A and B are shown apart, each in its own frame.
Chain A
Amino acid sequence: MSKVTFKITLTSDPKLPYKVLSVPESTPFTAVLKFAAEEFKVPSATSAIITNAYLGVLCCVAGNVFLKHGSELRIIPRDRVGGQGD
């Protein structure tokens, strides 16, 4: 079973902590989000993962996300999705 790697950064923290996660490519991306939220100790229900280009990641499995958006992702609080920015 091949794996893909994502570097996920918590951008809501000024220190910009990141974690490099290695997950099987067939993993549903919702599980990756949940795991990343648990690792960063933020609630998964109110978090979302976006790319560096501020695109929301809505795709299905980890392999497809890696192919479409690359490995550099960000996790943000959900109320910031689609916001105007600071």
Chain B
Amino acid sequence: MDVALYLIAAAVLIVLIGFAVKIRSRTQEAQGWATGGPGATCGPRQPSMCPLEVEQPKKVGAKKQKKLEEKQAKKAQREAEMEEREERKRMHELREQERQQEDERERLMEQKQEEEERHAAEEQERREEEEYLKLKASFVVEEQGEEEQLTEDQSRNLLQEFIQHIESSKVVLLEDLASHFGMRTQDAINRLQDLLAEGSLTGVIDDRGKFISITPEELDSVARFIRQRGHVSITELAQASNSLINLQPESRSSA
């Protein structure tokens, strides 16, 4: 009986050992595939070729596989980005270089243009100078001198003379007045109006370019006539004015 029991136990043990060896060999195969790929030669028949990873946890699950793939993808993406960055940098440098060359070309062109313009201007100036020298030969200085300046007394008297001349002439053409005193006609008119405004002269400027000097006494006499008559027509006034106002120049009237 005991012997039979021992024999049965031994058989069971042998079966168990064989089973364990089988499982172990399968595990080794799986490890070798995960680390070495198709070329992995690590297997139960060549245990000396197995890398150390074989000794790590046995299965490469789907999650880990996915993680590994993601890692690979990220690495590839990073490398592609770096490559692109390098390319962009190269292009930028190239463009920069071209721009600088272009700027240099433009600067040289501008310089050249300025130089040409300067030459042209100098040439023009030289030509004008030559023409001027040719014309100058025909210029003649006929006379030269200094203008007579009025003394202070002379300038003071000039105004009195102006007023005196108008009063004595009685009726004076504005143009004649201006030429008599070496003035422009408009200047003579302006002076006259100023003198009338300040009261140094009394009279009227008619629309035919004459000034009629009327004394204050003559103006009073005309005013008295109008007040006396009360109601007077223009015709009567004109007729009366001929006798009330003396239009003869002083030199003639005294003669």
Contact = CB atoms under 8 A, between A and B. Distances in A.
A39 B140 CA distance: 11
A19 interface: yes
Nearest to A35: B139
Contact of B146 (A15, A21, A27): A15
Interface in B177-193: 184
Interface in B62-89: none
Nearest to B131: A31
B208 interface: no
Contacts, number: 56
A69 interface: no
Given A34-B132, A53-B184, A20 B138 contact: no
B152 interface: no
Contacts of A7: 143
B144 A18 contact: yes
Interface of A: 1, 3, 5, 7, 9, 14-24, 27-28, 31-32, 34-35, 39, 52-53
B184 A22 contact: no
B135 interface: yes
- By size class, the interface of chain B is 10 to 19
A20 B136 CA distance: 15
A23 B184 contact: no
Contact of B139 (A9, A14, A18, A23): A23
Given A16-B146, A53-B184, 12 more contacts: A15-B146, A16-B147, A17-B146, A18-B144, A18-B146, A19-B144, A21-B139, A21-B140, A22-B140, A24-B135, A32-B139, A52-B184
Contacts of A20: 141-144
A26 B139 CA distance: 12
Given A16-B149, A53-B184, A27 B135 contact: yes
Interface string B148-171: 010000000000000000000000
